[in-house]
Amino acid sequence: MKRVGFLTSGGDCQSLNATMRGVAKTLYQKYSDVEIYGILEGYKGLIYGNYRKMKSSDFSGILTEGGTIIGTSRQPFKKMRDPDENGLDKVKAMKDNYKRWGLDCLVVLGGNGTHKTANMLSEEGLNVVTLPKTIDNDIWGTDMTFGFQSAVNIATNAIDCIHTTAASHGRVFIVEVMGHKVGWLTLHAGIAGGADIILLPEIPYDIKSVVKALEKRNKEGKRFSILAVAEGAISKEDAALSKKELKAKRKANLFPSISYQIGQEIQEKTGQEVRITVPGHTQRGGEPCPYDRVISSRLGAAAARLIIEEKYGYMVGLKDNEIVPVPLGEVAGRLKMVDPDSSIIKEAKGLGICFGD
């Protein structure tokens, strides 16, 4: 008999259900008496003891369903060691519930913050297996996270739709793509959507370079331009500030997001009409694309195999198209960022895409 707890944590994405289905199906194939506890709303459910006993049928028909059937929440890692408002020791509560429910293992689907807590629980003695979830594709130790390609499709579609209206009106359009700390999603959607300028958190921009690129297009008789801008895009000037100075500057900033600031600067410096589009959380919604369904199923099956072999303390990741176990200690606390010197950036620059540097 195996009793396994499933938990989805942090921002949701399209392929969470497909991944849980992959784990569950493989476990049900192996054991006739496996019990799966669906821990509700991420670590919150583990802290406060909320779960639902799942049946095999709960995992049927969810391959194509976005979101997560067991809910999620954000529980910041840096506050995990702080007692809650009623003085509850959250880490102790999670360990107590794990033991009280008689779990053999905790299966955690999540992003970077989630992995820090998962690693902590593993170090505290719980059996933990994790799966890399995020539209940001920024988890260390895996070439690909599930959710990323589905989000690339949506962000690309937004840029595609903007193309026609931008061309008709001869306007500059900014499409703001999700990603505060890393720019994978913006980079891929930008290239796929044919953006002329791509601004990423990893490559601080100079507005003068952006304006120069726009003016070059004008001179070439191109009536419109499209910028794919990451939520976390940052100017060279701001990147040179200390954390404290940047925080104070941002607090005083009246723009709703970086794209609006860039938009105003472009309008003032070029006289061109600028419009901003923010697809926002649509990028995390809807059904998973076929690519995500495949890697979710593969990752899920591989995670179940680790449970069957009682090999705990690992994340399953994709490396050179093979699924491999990666020690949680290697994953936790590290971000996989876009390298400004990587070949994808060089190739994009070769295509004439401006990164504002």
Q: Which of residues 272-301 bind ligand F6P (CB under 6 A)?
A: 284
Distance CA 15, CA 325 (A): 20
**Is position 179 an interface residue for ligand F6P (rule: CB under 6 A)?**
yes
> Can you tell me which of 35, 136, 176, 196 binds ligand F6P, judged by CB under 6 A?
136
Q: For ligand F6P, which residue of 99, 180, 222, 250 counts as binding (CB under 6 A)?
A: 180
Are the C-beta atoms of residues 167 and 196 closer than 8 Å to each other?
A: no
Q: How many CB atoms lie within 10 A of CB 327?
A: 13
Report if residue 176 touches ligand F6P, rule: CB under 6 A. Answer: no
Q: Is the distance from CB of 117 to CB of 133 less than 8 angstroms?
A: no
Query: Smallest distance from the beta carbon of 223 to ligand F6P, in angstroms?
Result: 32
Part of the chain binding ligand F6P (CB under 6 A), chosen from 177-185, 190-198, 324-332, 341-349: 177-185
- What six digits make up the tokens of 117? 């807590």
CB of 14 to ligand F6P, least distance (A): 11
Residues 39, 106, 121, 135: which binds ligand F6P (CB under 6 A)?
A: 135
Strand arrangement, sheet containing 225-230 = 197-199, 225-230, 172-177, 274-277
* Amino acid identity at 339: D
DSSP 8-state symbol, 270: H
- The CA-to-CA distance between both ends of the chain, in Å, stands at 58
Q: Is 90 in the site for ligand F6P (CB under 6 A)?
A: no
Q: How far is the CB of 345 from ligand F6P (least distance, A)?
A: 20
In 3D space, the residue among 288, 5, 306, 346 whose CA is nearest the CA of residue 145 turns out to be 288
Q: Is 42 in the site for ligand F6P (CB under 6 A)?
A: no
CB of 74 to ligand F6P, least distance (A): 6
Whether residue 136 lies in the annotated active site: yes
* Tokens representing residue 149 in the block: 């390609």
Which is the catalytic residue, given 136, 138, 196, 292? 136
The footprint of ligand F6P (CB under 6 A) covers: 11, 74, 111, 134-136, 178-180, 231, 284
Give catalytic residue positions: 136
